[in-house]
């Protein structure tokens, strides 16, 4: 994973690189983890896109710069992340 400001390049299992924009990061006290939500780079606000979500290990500054991303595995954790995303998308003050 490489990061440049608000952009990250993810490499899939076939070695294909895709550029993503960091939508936002947040911490969950319930799960004691940090989370990052990504959308494809260059997405327009009105576009319907899939949002990728991962937990990550923040660096010493609490950032996701060189973080290792982890898949979210439990349904309960996914429900919590989706709730935070819904709040973000529906609250104009957060965007």
Overall residue count recorded for the chain in this entry = 95
Range of the domain at 12: 7-92
* 1-53 tens-digit pLDDT: 444 568 989 988 899 999 999 999 999 999 999 999 999 998 887 888 899 99
- How many domains are there within the chain? 1
Average pLDDT over residues 84-91: 90
- Tell me how far apart the alpha carbons of residues 39 and 44 are, in angstroms, rounded to a whole number: 10
Q: 63 in a domain, yes or no?
A: yes
Strand duo 7-11 + 17-28: pairing: antiparallel
End-to-end CA distance of the chain: 25
Between 49 and 58, whose confidence is greater?
49
Q: 1 in a domain, yes or no?
A: no
Q: 29 in a domain, yes or no?
A: yes
Q: 45 in a domain, yes or no?
A: yes
Q: 2 in a domain, yes or no?
A: no
Question: What pLDDT score was predicted for residue 57?
Answer: 84
Question: What pLDDT score was predicted for residue 2?
Answer: 47
């Amino acid at each position: 994973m490489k990061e440049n400001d608000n952009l990250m390049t993810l490499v899939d299992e076939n070695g294909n690189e895709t550029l993503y924009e960091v939508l936002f990061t947040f911490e969950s006290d319930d799960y004691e983890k940090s989370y990052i939500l990504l959308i494809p780079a260059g997405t327009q606000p009105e576009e319907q896109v899939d949002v990728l979500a991962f937990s990550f290990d923040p660096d010493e500054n609490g950032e996701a710069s060189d973080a290792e991303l982890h898949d979210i595995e439990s349904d309960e954790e996914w429900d919590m992340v989706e709730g935070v995303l819904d709040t973000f998308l529906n609250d104009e003050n957060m965007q």
